[in-house]
Chains A and B, each alone.
Chain A
């Protein structure tokens, strides 16, 4: 066997195991990234989605934030422009979280329709790049949808 062959064999082993690690950890850590409307459609479709951890990206509905004094719990509504959802989060609230924030919450939707979040990521346009003064925050624009694709919450569930 030439050195080049040996090298390629070793390389294939390295890359193969890396690929195997990627594939196997992908299975265990992949999470759906949905909007409130999509999540609603999914739980109607399949009730087991109540037990499945998902990520939801949406805008905070201004004026709905109720912070606990401890700074460790917050209750608020989010929307994707088509559907509102109540979120309860326990943990440290990031500094970026605000009325006009775009948030990503991770957790599960319980059977009462409240999303129990274990992580809360907030980003707000106005933090790093503000909207022109006087302009409205585009809270009505559903996040995560290129303008061409259909908004799922408007389509009736199939079952």
Chain B
């Protein structure tokens, strides 16, 4: 199976190369037979990459330690699910996984568009295949998962305990799916540029793929935050680490594209901008991988430095040069006749949304690359920390949140004063209500107040849109309330799914703003001692230590501390935090000791307990537990925000039957008042 796997990898490379060559040849010579051959080769490439992946999976599940990769990332006592997920746990496996997704997406694109976009498709297939060739070569030459060991060890090294977490089993595939999906819009953009068919046609083909990418990146980023929160023990979700930033960058430009695409669809504007965003999103996902793999920037998350980084740099520069050349030679074709008609229009709101999103992306990129840039320019490495990112991005993010509320309220082209008055009254009232309640309740943190006030504005906006839409359906179609609500969303998925995403964004912002009220304590407790603290909501908590215990589990030795919390006199579930020493099958310690965070999650806040260690005192056999205890307000809503955003995204991209689309689909999204205002 291993041999078949390795051979399949090389055959896949052959197929992908063929697919790239004949597709480009078929496109430029307009030879249908070559185009068809290229498309068939891309199916074959997928099949062979799948064979190769099966080979690696078989070796992992059978614990075949003759493969260096299997010996490095698994051990015979590792739970099966982590043997399976070890496929993307290390560098060479994740490269193969990337190839698997890319070839699969390539095959899906070819299949879906077999009767459509005939003039674009050869270039799309060719570009996808070229990207696949790059990844396959890098995998086979620089980072081959099928590399063998001369003397197979009796057992493997096992998986890093911090990666033995359900979120970490599914976080990387989500990010990879998101990163790889950016290749499809990029391929269509290249196709559209080469053939000079730069109207809205290619956008129709890529909108769903841009959404797929956005959807998986959203899930991947949220899971990454969750993993960092429960595993890394510092009590936060986002440290502005280069690798975290790398996943955020394509998400930002991808989000910008999903908004600006609507302007081109409706008004034909922004052609250059949209092509640029698509190319930038793809380049940023390559850059993210480059940062992760090359070690050029210090990050806690980096993979070991390896030659793979250089390959990505080459790919990045090549893709940049090719797209820059294509855009530069086609500037005339990218001209648009339509103009912005008024600042008080949805176009303007969307343009500002794009500006802010790209501004955030730029500042994050700048801060992330700053050590490299300063070394080039001044010869000294200078880094910027979380304060830089927060000072710049919190104001920009709040502006973005405000635009989230304004955008849906304004009419296209030109808003009339009547439109503004009708649409803005309730949301402004909502904002003022939320803001004043919080001030009266004693909130004084400026950023948090602004965030919740704007959040109130946006939520009222969304509620108003739903109430209007449901009301209209009940009057026109005579439907009951639940039926009208479901059909409203089902028949206008892009619009109302989008509102649900916006709602998720508000929930996440509100939760993140809760960090302003975080409280933490260093605590030392003997068995039976109690620590008393007041949480940010004003409730009184007592934490009583139930003592430190020592025991052995399946693959680890554990020291644990248990705290019994009492909140305002009410007993809450016991919080347990552990320090674990993992062991291999021969009971030898593997890896450094790791910490298992103790967590009590409630809707108001998390109580987050990190057991640092146990100090023994001379003359006593009762050790003192050293604990760091944190109140993290609203934390659980960060995860809910991510979930709501993902659900909204799913609604937007869910395929809609042809009939339903005609009846109440996108064409019906032009609100009556918008048409009226434009006339």
Contacts from A to B (Cβ < 8 Å): 2-4, 6-7, 10-11, 14-15, 17-18, 21-22, 24-26, 28-34, 55, 57, 67-72, 92-98, 104, 121-123, 125, 127-133, 144
Contact = CB atoms under 8 A, between A and B. Distances in A.
A73 B614 CA distance: 12
Given A14-B352, A15-B359, A92-B233, A3 B341 contact: yes
Contacts of B363: 18, 22
B449 interface: no
A67 B402 CA distance: 49
B300 A31 contact: no
Main secondary structure of the interface of A (DSSP, over half): mixed
30 contacts: A3-B339, A3-B340, A7-B343, A10-B343, A15-B359, A18-B392, A22-B392, A29-B388, A30-B383, A31-B383, A32-B380, A32-B382, A32-B383, A33-B381, A69-B613, A70-B624, A92-B628, A94-B232, A95-B162, A95-B232, A95-B233, A95-B592, A96-B592, A97-B592, A123-B299, A128-B301, A129-B303, A129-B306, A130-B72, A133-B153
Interface residues of B, number: 71
Interface string B283-321: 000000000000000111111101000000000000000
Contacts, number: 164
Nearest to B626: A70
A76 to B, nearest CB: 13
Most buried by B among A25, A72, A93: A25
Contacts of A6: 343
A130 B303 CA distance: 9
A6 B381 CA distance: 40
Contact of A29 (B71, B345, B387): B387
B560 interface: no
Given A7-B340, A30-B383, A95 B300 contact: no
Interface string B585-610: 00000011111000000000000001
Contacts of B595: 95
Contact of A31 (B366, B384, B611): B384
Contacts of A34: 381
Contact of A121 (B300, B343, B384): B300
Nearest to B153: A133
**7 nearest interchain CB pairs?**
A71-B613, A71-B612, A33-B381, A25-B391, A125-B304, A129-B304, A98-B592
Given A92-B610, A125-B304, A21 B392 contact: yes
B614 A144 contact: no
B425 interface: no
Interface in B343-357: 343, 345, 348, 351-352, 355-356
A95 B383 contact: no
Contacts of B345: 3
B32 interface: no
B404 interface: no
A32 B298 CA distance: 13
B377 to A, nearest CB: 13
A43 to B, nearest CB: 15
Contact of B614 (A67, A69, A125, A131): A69
A104 B298 contact: yes
Interface string B613-630: 111100000001010100
A70 B612 contact: yes
Given A15-B355, A95-B595, A130-B304, 20 more contacts: A3-B343, A4-B340, A7-B340, A11-B355, A14-B356, A18-B359, A18-B396, A22-B388, A28-B387, A30-B370, A30-B384, A31-B382, A55-B383, A69-B615, A71-B626, A95-B593, A123-B299, A128-B90, A128-B302, A128-B304
B77 interface: no
Contacts of B302: 123, 128
B661 interface: no
A55 to B, nearest CB: 6
A8 to B, nearest CB: 10
Most buried by B among A14, A71, A94, A97: A71
Contacts of A144: 298, 381
Contact of B613 (A21, A22, A70): A70
B234 A21 contact: no
Contacts of B90: 128-129
Given A3-B342, A144-B381, A133 B157 contact: yes
Nearest to A132: B68
A133 B352 contact: no
A33 B381 CA distance: 5
B160 interface: yes
A10 B157 contact: no
A72 B612 contact: yes
Most buried by B among A33, A95, A98, A121: A95
B434 interface: no
A122 B298 CA distance: 10
Nearest to A131: B304
A14 B299 contact: no
Interface in B389-430: 391-392, 395-396, 399
A95 to B, nearest CB: 4
B618 to A, nearest CB: 12
A72 B385 contact: no
B91 interface: yes
Contacts of A128: 90, 160, 163, 301-304
